Structure 1
Amino acid sequence: MARIRPERRTRVDLAVSAAIVVVLLVVGLVIWLQSPVRHSDSVQAAAPVPDVTPSTTVPDRLIPLWRARSDATDSPALSRSLVVTADGGTVIGRDPTTGGARWQYRRDLDLCAVLAAWPSTTNEVLAAYRNSRGCGEVTALSGSSGKRSGSRSSDADDRIQLVSDAGYVVSQGTTRLETWGSNLVRGIEYGRVDAPVKPGVQPGRTGCRLLSSAIGGDRIAVIEHCGTEPGYRLTVLGAVLDKDEEVQQYGSSVITDGTTGPPPVLIGMSSSAIAVYDGGGNRPSPPSDAPGGLAPPAIRQFSTDGVPTATNTVTGPQRPPVGVVPSSGGGLTSYFTGQATVVLDAQNVRPIYQVPGAIGTGDVMAGQLLLPTATGISVRDAATGRELRSIAVNREGRGAEPVALRVLGSTVIEQWGSTVQAYGPA
C-alpha cells in the first residue's frame, strides 16, 4: 500500500494560520475583558439556605437585631430564606436574624434597582446595573445561594423601577419598559424603541412619558402621558407579544381631564382588576359630580381592559410620597397615601379599610396585619382592621420617610430611606 504524502504547507499557509490564531485569541480576550464574569465578584453560600418557617404568633415585644444600608431597594427585598440588601454595586443575601452575609455578588457598576422575584417558585434576585445604555444590565441570582443563574443586557432608561407578580417582571423607566419571564427572555418592549426588530408592532402613540406600572397575570397596566394629550392615560397591554408578534393592547383611555396636578399612581393589579390612587389634583375623566369638577383623593378601579368600574374615597394628599411601593402578603395589598394606609383585597384590589395615622405599608404575620406607626407597630385584625395591640419599637435616626414593613419568619424587617432595620422577639 502506497504511503500518502502529507499535504504541502507553504510559508503563506503558515502565516495565515498564525494570523487566524492571533485574531481568535484577541477576540477571546476582548470578550473576556468585557464580560460580566470578568468584572464581578461572587461569594456563594456553601449550600442553599433552607426556607424560613412562617411564625405562628406575633411577638409581644420586638428588639433591634441588625441594620444595613440598601440604596437600590425601596422596600425590604425578601427571598424565601434571606433579606437582600443592595448598595453601590453589591448585592448581599443576609441571615434574617443576624444580618450576616450568606452570599454576596458585586459588579464594578452602580446598581439601579434590585428585586426579589418569584419567591414561591424560582426564588430569584434580579439586580439591574447601570452601563452606557442605561439600567439594562441585569443579573439573576439564586435567592438561597447567590449562584448566578442568568443575565440579559438591553437598552433602558437611566432610572427604572422593577415590578413583578407570579409570572413576569416589568422594568419601567420614563420612556420605555420591558417585560421578562423567569428565564429573562423579553416578552415585550413598549415606548421608546430605538432599533425595532419588526416595525409597526407598537401602538401608534408617540412622545409618551411612562409614570407608573403594575402587572397581573399576563397583562400589564401603565399610567402615561403622551404628547399634547389633555390628561393622563391608563393603558393595558399584554405581557408577551401576540401571535402576530405585535404588542397587544387591551385598552387605553385618558382618565383625567388635565395634567396640572400630580398623575394618578398604579397601586395594584390582579388578573381581574386594576387599582389606581388618584389624589384629585386633576378633574377625573369620566367627569366627577363633585363641586368644581375636582374629586377628593380616591382609589379608582378599572377592569383589566381599562374600563372604569368603581371609586372609593380615601384619606390622602394630591401627591403621594415619592418612592412608596405597594406591599402584598397574606391576601392583602397595602398602600401608603402619605396620610393613611389603605388595605385592599389582593384578588379584586378593592379597598377593605384604611388606617389613618399609619406611616407606611405593612405585612401579615400569623394571620394578623402589622402596620408601622409613629410610636411602633400596630397589630390589627387582618379582616376588619381593628387594632388588637401595639408594639413599641425605636427607629433611631429615621426622619419623616415612610416606612415599608415586611415579615420573614419571626423577623420583622423595615426600610425607610436607604436604611434596612430588622427586629426580632425579645
Structure 2
Amino acid sequence: MLAPERRTRADILTAVAIAALVAIATVVVVLTSDVRGTHSQTASRTVAPPASNEPVPTQVKELWHAPDGAAMRSLAVGGVAVTADGGTVSGRNPRTGDEIWKYQRDLPLCAVEVQFGTVIATYRDERGCSQTTLLNAENGSRVAARSSYMDKQITLAPDGTYVLALGDDRLEMWRSDLVRTLEYGYVDAPVNPHTQPRSDCRLLSAGSAPSRVAVLERCPKDNADRLSILNPAPKDGTAPEEYSSHVLNEPGGAVDGARVVAVSDTRIALYLPATQTTAPMLTVYDVNGNLLATHQVPAFANTAAVARLSTAFFVYTGDNLIALNPTTLDPQWEAQHVLGTAAMMSGQLVVPVPDGLGILDPATGAQISRIPLQRSDYHNEPITLGVSGTVFLERRGTQVYGVGAAS
C-alpha cells in the first residue's frame, strides 16, 4: 500500500503563487476592460409608444432642451426621444425631457442612430469608431455589440433593413443584430487578399436600400468621381459583389461636393455640383448605373440633408425643400425658405420655417397652415425635425428642443 502524499512547503508556496497570479490577472482584466468604463441605468418601466392618430397641435412652445452633440439629426423611436452627448446616450420622455434611461461610457461617441426599435451607438477607441452597442430603445438595456477596425469619423444611415456605416476609407453594412454583411474599401488585415475591387479610393458619400448600396468614391487613377453599386449582403461579406462601377462622365462629376442623395431598390439619385458652364444637377440612374434622367436643382449647401419618411425622400438643400417621386426619384415639387428637414405627424408633412412650423401638402408642397413658434437661443443653424406622438423634436446646433402644446 502506497503511503499517502503529503503537501510540502514548496507545494504550498506554489499554490499561493498561482492564486496570486490569478488574482492579479483578474484585477488587470477588470481595470482595463470596457465594463469598468461603462455605466448603464435602465428604465424602471417600459414606455408605451405614442398614439399616431392625434391631431397636429395648432399652438406650441418649447417644453425642454438637452445637449445633443453626437447625433446627426433628431432621434425618436417608440415612445422615447434619444439624445447623445459626450459619451452618454439618453432615452428621454418626449414631453418633459426627463431621462428614462442612460448608457454611458468613458469613450467619446462617433455617431448615434435609431432603427428596429433600437438605438445604435458607436464609440471611438484607438482603432477608430470601432465599438458599437445596440440598445433597447424602450428601457436602455444592451442587446448586442460589435467591434472592428473603422475610420476615425463615420456616419450611420439606416435604410429599414440594414445600417450603413461610412468613413473616408471604409464602409460596412450591418444587420439588425449588428452582424456585418459587407465590408468595402480599405481592409486592415484582409482574411482573403485581393477581394476588394479598390482599396485606395476616398469614399465621398453613400446610400443604401434593402437590395442595393450606392457608393460615390474618388480613386487616384480616375479623372472624376466613380459610382459603384453593390450588393449589401453578398455570400461572403469580405468579398464585395459589384453590380456596376463607372466613372461619371456627366458635368459636375469631377467637382467637389457631389453626393448620393437617395437610393431605392430600382433607382439611385446623385447631386452633381455646378461647373463653369452647367447648373447643379440631380441625376437619376437605374440599379445597373445607367443614366435615366437629369434635372436642374438649386445648389446644395454643406448643410444639405435628406429625410426618408416611409418610402418618400425629402431633400433639404440649405434653403429649399425638394420632394422626390418615391418611384422614379425625379423631383416632384419644391418649397422655398425652409430651415431644415421635414417630418410627418398624423399624415401631415411638417417643416421648420422662419416663424414656426409649416404644414405642407405632401403631394404638392402647398402650405396648408402654419404653427407659430418662438425659438430661443436660435442662430440660424439648420434644424433637423423629428416627431414623437404630438411632440416635435428640433435639433439646432448641438441642442435638441422638445416642442409641443402647452399643458
Fold match by TM threshold 0.5: yes
The one of 171, 177, 187 equivalent to 1:193 is 187
Give how far 1:403 is off: 1.3
Superposed CA offset, 1:24-61 (max 9, x none): 43333333223222111111101221111114322211
The one of 154, 162, 165 equivalent to 1:168 is 162
Rounded to whole Å, the distance in 1 between the matches of 2:394 and 2:137 is 19
**Secondary structure at 2:305's aligned position in 1?**
coil
Give how far 1:350 is off: 3.3
1:270 paired residue number: 264
Superposed CA offset, 1:309-348 (max 9, x none): 222222x22x5223x4311224422111123111124454
Rounded to whole Å, the distance in 2 between the matches of 1:97 and 1:152 is 33
Give how far 1:176 is off: 1.0
Equivalent residues in 2 for 1:16-415, closer than 5 Å:
17-118=15-116, 123-203=117-197, 205-242=198-235, 246-255=239-248, 256=250, 261-281=255-275, 294-314=277-297, 316-317=298-299, 319-322=300-303, 324-415=304-395
Tell me, yes or no, if the aligned pair for 2:183 and 2:238 is still in contact at 8 Å: no
Give how far 1:297 is off: 2.0
Rounded to whole Å, the distance in 2 between the matches of 1:259 and 1:221 is 15
2:404 paired residue number: 424
Rounded to whole Å, the distance in 1 between the matches of 2:3 and 2:252 is 87
1:289 paired residue number: none
The size of the alignment, in residue pairs, is: 405
Unmatched runs of 5 consecutive residues or more in structure 1: 282-291
Paired amino acid for 1:54: S
Rounded to whole Å, the distance in 2 between the matches of 1:339 and 1:295 is 20
Task: Go from structure 1 to structure 2 and tell me whether the alpha carbon gap of 1:78 and 1:133 turns closer, same or farther (over 3 Å shift).
Answer: same
Tell me, yes or no, if the aligned pair for 2:251 and 2:272 is still in contact at 8 Å: no
Give how far 1:424 is off: 0.8
Give how far 1:10 is off: 5.9
Rounded to whole Å, the distance in 2 between the matches of 1:44 and 1:267 is 37
Rounded to whole Å, the distance in 1 between the matches of 2:384 and 2:204 is 21
Task: Go from structure 1 to structure 2 and tell me whether the alpha carbon gap of 1:262 and 1:395 turns closer, same or farther (over 3 Å shift).
Answer: farther
Per mean C-alpha deviation after superposition, the further-off stretch among 7-16 and 263-272 is 7-16
Rounded to whole Å, the distance in 2 between the matches of 1:12 and 1:280 is 82
Paired amino acid for 2:171: L
Give how far 1:8 is off: 6.4
Paired amino acid for 1:226: C
**Secondary structure at 1:240's aligned position in 2?**
coil
Task: Go from structure 1 to structure 2 and tell me whether the alpha carbon gap of 1:10 and 1:238 turns closer, same or farther (over 3 Å shift).
Answer: farther
Task: Go from structure 1 to structure 2 and tell me whether the alpha carbon gap of 1:380 and 1:244 turns closer, same or farther (over 3 Å shift).
Answer: closer
Rounded to whole Å, the distance in 2 between the matches of 1:156 and 1:360 is 30
Superposed CA offset, 1:283-309 (max 9, x none): xxxxxxxxx7x4322321122222222
Rounded to whole Å, the distance in 2 between the matches of 1:5 and 1:362 is 86
Tell me, yes or no, if the aligned pair for 1:41 and 1:107 is still in contact at 8 Å: yes
Rounded to whole Å, the distance in 2 between the matches of 1:163 and 1:103 is 23
Task: Go from structure 1 to structure 2 and tell me whether the alpha carbon gap of 1:305 and 1:244 turns closer, same or farther (over 3 Å shift).
Answer: same
Tell me, yes or no, if the aligned pair for 1:234 and 1:254 is still in contact at 8 Å: yes
Superposed CA offset, 1:368-422 (max 9, x none): 1111111211111111211111111122222232111121110111112112111
Task: Go from structure 1 to structure 2 and tell me whether the alpha carbon gap of 1:63 and 1:193 turns closer, same or farther (over 3 Å shift).
Answer: same
4+ runs deviating over 6 angstroms: none
Give how far 1:95 is off: 0.5
**Secondary structure at 1:32's aligned position in 2?**
helix
**Secondary structure at 2:36's aligned position in 1?**
coil
Tell me, yes or no, if the aligned pair for 1:232 and 1:263 is still in contact at 8 Å: no
Rounded to whole Å, the distance in 2 between the matches of 1:24 and 1:348 is 64
Task: Go from structure 1 to structure 2 and tell me whether the alpha carbon gap of 1:304 and 1:186 turns closer, same or farther (over 3 Å shift).
Answer: same
Tell me, yes or no, if the aligned pair for 2:321 and 2:341 is still in contact at 8 Å: yes
Superposed CA offset, 1:133-178 (max 9, x none): 1111111111110001121221111111001112211111111121
Per mean C-alpha deviation after superposition, the further-off stretch among 343-352 and 328-337 is 343-352
Per mean C-alpha deviation after superposition, the further-off stretch among 242-251 and 38-47 is 242-251
Tell me, yes or no, if the aligned pair for 2:305 and 2:317 is still in contact at 8 Å: no
Rounded to whole Å, the distance in 2 between the matches of 1:420 and 1:244 is 37
Paired amino acid for 2:365: G
Tell me, yes or no, if the aligned pair for 2:252 and 2:258 is still in contact at 8 Å: no
Tell me, yes or no, if the aligned pair for 1:375 and 1:393 is still in contact at 8 Å: yes
Rounded to whole Å, the distance in 1 between the matches of 2:327 and 2:24 is 55
Tell me, yes or no, if the aligned pair for 2:252 and 2:274 is still in contact at 8 Å: no
The percent of aligned pairs where both chains have the same amino acid is 35
Paired amino acid for 1:25: A
Rounded to whole Å, the distance in 2 between the matches of 1:5 and 1:47 is 64
